[in-house]
A and B are shown apart, each in its own frame.
Chain A
Amino acid sequence: MTLQRVMHVEDDESIRAVAEIALTDVAGFTLLSCDSGQSALAQAEAFAPQLILLDVMMPQMDGLQTMAALLQLPSLKNTPVVFMTAKIQQSEKQRYLDVGAIGIIEKPFEPMELGDTLSELYQQHITS
């Protein structure tokens, strides 16, 4: 199964805008962009994403809290999550992987390769 439906949660409008172009125009995904964890929780079940791309640093509800909350939803408990973050140390990377993320994408990301990267991670996840 190929990756088609991606939900992106990012509080920065600019990054949301470029990510949207990278994931829709470039990668051809069906995308739901959310500006906060709360917004994502409200729309996620209806959208039923195959993969969630989560920003880590968000106000009020950060990426980890959003992930924990989303995976509580029965229809999303097995949905893979990829974190996107500007702060990346090896220990942090391991921490995100330990909480269940299938991958971490560093900012600034390669917009032309973002879609391929997510597809690759998704394929690895469903085949493992």
Chain B
Amino acid sequence: MTNTAKQGIITAPSPRYLCLLLLFVLAAVGLNYTRLPLFFSVEFIFGSAIAVLALLVLGRTAAIVVGCAAAAVTLFIWGHPYAWLVFTAEIIWLSWRWRPENGLNLVKLDLLFWLCAGLPAVSLFYAYGLDVKWQTAVLIALKQMTNGVFNTLLASLLILVLQSQHWADRFLVLPLISLRQLLFHILIALTLFVGCTPLLMDARKLQAEYTFNVEQRLQWLADTLHKQLQKHASLQQLTTTEVTGLLEQALPEESISVLVLDNNGRVLNSSGLITSLNNVVNSMPEPGFSHWQPEGVSPLLQRWGQSRFVLVQHPVTLEGVGAIVIEFSAREVMSKLEQDSARHLTLLVAFLLLVTLVANWLSRVISLPLHRLALASERLKSSIAAGADTDIPTSKVEEYHTLGQNLQAMSRELAAAFTIGKANETELVRKVNEQTKQLQQANSQLEAILAAASDFSIIATNKDGIISYFSRGAEKLLGYSAAELVDKQSPAILHVADEVMQRSQELTVQLKQPVAGFRAFVVLAEQQGTDTRQWQYVRKDGSCLPVSLTVTPILSESGTVTGYLGVAKDISERHRNEKLKNEFISTVSHELRTPLTSLYAALKMANSGRLGELPGKVASLLQLAENNSKRLGRLINDLLDIEKLTAGKFQLSLEVQPLQPLVIQAIDEISSYAAQYKVTLQTDFATEPLFARIDAGRFVQVVTNLLSNAIKFSPADAIVKVKMYADAAFARLEVSDLGQGIADDFKERIFEKFAQNDAASTRQQGGTGLGLAISKELTEKMAGNIGFVSEPGQGATFWLSFNLCVSPVQQPVNVVTNATGSPENQCSHQ
């Protein structure tokens, strides 16, 4: 049938299987009782078709059971076991030999059985077992062979129909149809059905013809007898012997019997044996021609052998004669019919064999090229994969040839493409391996770096805030192991809940959107790229740890946030240092200033003259002491200032205000100092007021420092010029002196702490070496710039530059600078 089906489509023994088996048995038995007459004495039964169907649907065992049960019917209908034996052997053969996966054809297998075993066996059984003539035995064998092959063909066709229907798949698991088998069965079926029809019609026609001939003959005989009897006016005048002689004269054949009845149906005379009426007639038989067969006689041939053709005539011209009955033995006709059946059956068998051969050949011829193409297509995959050509068979049939050519071309293209693809794949694999290796090296390096950064806590999360990486540094700082937290917890458990809540509230107000929980750590980082803030981490043992936490989002190539990275540094040491520094500043401030307070106050009051006149030298000495106490005070202030500046604890009160008055204030404060050095201060201010956002006191401090330096380094009677003007968007102040200028090798260090041109000069000129460093810090904290221009021997010009503001109406801003921030100094205009 096909070469892909499994033996037995429904597996045994389920209730469904048993039900179907019973159904098949009943059907087979029933169909064996049903007979289809083909020719005279040739009738087909169909039980074996059901047995073959059972083989295909239920499997071997079921087929044998069904076949055996169906064949058993022949025991009853034919009265001998030979047919049962042969039919059972037939189904056993088919069950044993048929393998759908081998593509064996059931019809051919069945034909093989009948030609090799069935025909000889039936012939022998009938000839020797039933004492039938050889010719008859062979005919019976041919008939059974034809019947068997026909049934197998019928079953195969039915299965083909089911295989072609999709709805059948719901009930049965049917394999695919083989084109060759399909062609074979269709060809053989069509040819048989078409070719057998003339044979059947011919047989029917001949039988009718023979019957008609017999009827004509009997009619002629009846007329002849009628004429003979008419010659004698009354039969009653003749003796019985004379009437018999007349009858015999009219009907010379022994196979013909005649009966003459009177008007009441009583026998007047007879010749020969009339069996159809059993020689006892009590009623007038109906006129007409019929074929009488004896009841209760079987088989067909025996019944036909005893049958009679009967003609009943009611002569109207013979006085005293009611009916003439003529009987003719059917043996002659039967003999002819038997000869015809034999001939037809022989023709049928020959036709069957021929058709089988032709269908087999034709189906092979038509399907073989396609089958070869199908086989070649199975090799395509491996050929393409190997980059080799596939051998596609050619054909003389145009369609197959075109298909083959196209397949060949396609396989070449695919093979070439596959070869290129393989090469690319190899290269790709190599590159991937190389990059994987590099990645692994980078990962190892990263792991090493992260492991080395044991003083930092590095925690990564996924975008939902669940920890995905917990560095060794984090383990060390916090006391948790990575296994406890990775993929399990959010970093929120490492924080103080109140702190997180407070920060969430601040951000909610600031960003005008609800911020809570994990979002408090990441929302600013998402907006700004990074966010650094001090937090309190909570260790596993519950203790707190101040950290500086920097959060950055981890972005994919497309810029989507895929996670967050938090790097935290323990700042408890820094806090301690800051506290110490603050305490130091506070302590130094207090401890140095306290004795200086009384020292300076005492000297000041003593030198003021309010408490009495001092002798000249005492006054000089006390004045000297007062000056140095002032100097000491300045030094302490400078030291504390620079310490606060570098510690980032300097507070500025920034306010937009006019600069000229402040410069004048500084000049006033330094005027006595200038007089002391016999230096004149000359001003050149812009007429319009110049506004900038500054801390007034500290601005004065810076300007005073610049003036002090200029005075200090000017020769006696020199002029120090103070110029103030607007320079584009800036307010610019310049303090110029005519001193010795700044040496080239000192220029780079001039704003450093304790930077002095030379120590001797410092002692001569006074000063702490911190003035310019403090001035620079203060200027830059007020978002200004400071610089100088000087050539050795040509004096120096120090300048300050601040962003010009337009309006002085501005609220003061207290700015506490710290190490990580810078003050805002953009002028805002109202």
Contacts and interface: CB of A to CB of B under 8 A. Distances in A.
Interface of A: 12, 14-15, 17-19, 21-22, 25-26, 57, 85-91, 107-112
Nearest to A26: B610
A26 B589 CA distance: 27
A86 B590 contact: yes
A67 B287 CA distance: 161
A68 B11 CA distance: 105
Given A25-B610, A89-B651, A107-B597, A18 B589 contact: no
Interface of B: 586, 589-590, 592-602, 604-605, 608, 610-611, 629, 633, 644, 649, 651, 653, 814, 816
Contacts of B590: 57, 85-87
Contacts of A86: 589-590, 592-594, 597
A88 B651 CA distance: 11
Given A12-B594, A15-B597, A86-B589, A108 B605 contact: no
B649 A110 contact: no
Contact of B601 (A87, A88, A111): A111
Given A57-B590, A87-B589, A108 B600 contact: yes
A85 B589 CA distance: 10
A108 B602 CA distance: 11
A111 B606 CA distance: 10
Contact of A22 (B589, B601, B816): B601
Most A Cβ at <10 Å: residue of B593, B601, B604 = B601
Given A18-B597, A18-B601, A86-B594, A112 B649 contact: no
A18 B649 contact: no
Given A18-B605, A111-B604, A111-B605, 4 more contacts: A12-B597, A15-B598, A85-B590, A90-B651
A47 to B, nearest CB: 23
B594 A25 contact: no
A109 B601 contact: yes
A89 B608 CA distance: 30
The binding surface of chain B is classed by DSSP as: helix
Contact of A12 (B598, B600, B651): B598
B577 to A, nearest CB: 18
Contact of A112 (B589, B594, B605): B605
Nearest to B607: A112
A112 B610 contact: yes
16 contacts: A15-B594, A15-B598, A18-B597, A21-B605, A21-B611, A25-B611, A26-B610, A85-B590, A87-B586, A90-B653, A108-B600, A109-B601, A111-B600, A112-B604, A112-B608, A112-B610
Contacts of A108: 593, 596-597, 599-601, 629, 633
A108 B595 CA distance: 9
A26 B605 contact: yes
Rank and list the top 5 A-B pairs by shortest CB-CB distance, nearest first: A14-B598, A86-B593, A18-B601, A90-B651, A111-B601
A85 B594 CA distance: 9
A87 B599 CA distance: 18
Contacts of A25: 605, 610-611
Most B Cβ at <10 Å: residue of A15, A88, A90, A107 = A107
B505 to A, nearest CB: 24
A22 B605 contact: yes
Contact of A109 (B589, B595, B597, B629): B597
Given A86-B590, A86-B593, A87-B586, A17 B611 contact: no
A91 B652 CA distance: 10
Nearest to A112: B608
